[in-house]
């Protein structure tokens, strides 16, 4: 029955973008401005005849790869590509491109594109995945490894935090996506941010007597940037309980580092926290930024 008409579903893609999928042959038809005329949206042109498929409709099975311009993943069944980046996300961070949620018929152009990318690009493994290849957590799946650890495990592993309240450590390691009764690291991150600012500004004040307030502000901003904090936080990231993904230089990693500093400050006060920042290498980052500014 290859000449039957399509039987379109009413499934929407996401947000303002929508589309149909033929429940018989899985062909996708999208709706949008690019297929319309003037100010009107229209439906994408697809072949009017339905090639009946006996395969069940299924959700995409994704495998992600790292290409020079960023991360892209492909459905293992229909080769639908889906890019990752800030242009697909919000002001809070990057996200995956919006596509139809169900598999469609194989598009030869998409398959060719996938073959070209996957032939050269390595498969993407999330940086927070455990190192054991047999238990790697791939892509954006929940990072189950972190749920196995507690604050007690953390302070045993990292001696710098042995004198910190375990409950505060648990709070500092909980991403908002994994909040328990509304408890996550955001409050401690705010506290840690303020304490870290004071530590850095105090250091700059005493080591740069000729710098004005504008110069000190610029140096402080560079020294406590998301990238610098995330680099210092790297050993702790696998302990963060989260149900979302983030890159090593993202604000999430910086927030986690600030939350740990906030937890340390609660238990040990300012002077000890300033010593901790020095031990962690944060003041070395200040020195590096200061040295660059003089050239």
| Residue from 120, 193, 255, 279 carrying the catalytic annotation | 193
The backbone torsions φ and ψ at residue 91, rounded to the nearest 5 degrees and listed phi first, read -65, -15
The answer to whether residues 144 and 130 touch, using CB atoms and an 8 Å cutoff, is: no
| Residue from 258, 275, 279, 284 carrying the catalytic annotation | 258
Active-site annotation holds for 258: yes
Strands (E), the chain: 4-5, 12-14, 17-21, 28-37, 40-43, 49-50, 62-67, 70-75, 81-90, 93-96
Nearest to 204 by CA among 291, 88, 295: 291
The backbone torsions φ and ψ at residue 98, rounded to the nearest 5 degrees and listed phi first, read -85, 125
Active-site annotation holds for 160: no
Give the count of beta carbons closer than 10 Å to the beta carbon of residue 16: 10
SS percent in the chain: helix, strand, coil, step 5: 45, 20, 35
Please state, in angstroms and rounded to a whole number, the distance separating the CA atoms of residues 144 and 165.
24
Give the count of beta carbons closer than 10 Å to the beta carbon of residue 23: 15
Nearest to 151 by CA among 62, 1, 267, 35: 267
Residue matched to tokens 């505060």: 168
Sign of the Cα torsion 103, 107, 110, 116 reads positive
Hey, which residues are catalytic here? Answer: 193, 258
């Amino acid at each position: 029955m290859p000449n039957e008409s399509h039987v379109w579903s009413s499934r929407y893609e996401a947000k303002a973008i929508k589309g149909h999928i033929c429940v018989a042959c899985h062909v996708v038809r999208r709706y949008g401005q690019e297929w319309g005329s003037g100010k009107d949206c229209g439906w994408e042109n697809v072949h009017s005849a339905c090639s009946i498929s006996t395969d069940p409709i299924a959700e995409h099975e994704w495998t992600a790869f790292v290409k020079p311009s960023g991360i892209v993943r492909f459905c293992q069944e229909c080769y639908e590509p889906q890019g990752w980046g800030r242009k697909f996300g919000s002001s809070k961070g990057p996200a995956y491109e919006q596509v139809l949620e169900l598999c469609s018929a194989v598009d030869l152009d998409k398959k060719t594109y996938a073959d070209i990318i996957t032939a050269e690009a390595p498969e993407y493994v999330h940086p927070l995945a455990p190192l054991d290849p047999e238990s790697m957590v791939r892509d954006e799946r929940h990072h189950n490894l972190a749920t196995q650890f507690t604050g007690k495990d953390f302070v045993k592993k990292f001696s710098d935090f042995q004198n910190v309240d375990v409950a505060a450590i648990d709070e500092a390691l909980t991403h908002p996506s994994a909040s328990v009764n509304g408890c996550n690291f955001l409050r401690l991150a705010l506290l840690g941010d303020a304490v870290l600012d004071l530590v850095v500004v105090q250091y700059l004040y005493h080591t740069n007597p000729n710098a004005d307030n504008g110069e000190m502000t610029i140096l402080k901003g560079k020294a406590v940037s998301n990238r610098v904090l995330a680099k210092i936080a790297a050993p702790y990231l696998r302990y963060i309980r989260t149900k979302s993904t983030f890159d090593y230089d993202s604000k999430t990693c910086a927030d986690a580092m600030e939350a740990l500093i906030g937890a340390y400050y609660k238990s040990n006060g300012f002077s000890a926290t300033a010593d901790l920042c020095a031990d962690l290498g944060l003041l070395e980052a200040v020195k590096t930024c200061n040295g660059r500014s003089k050239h």
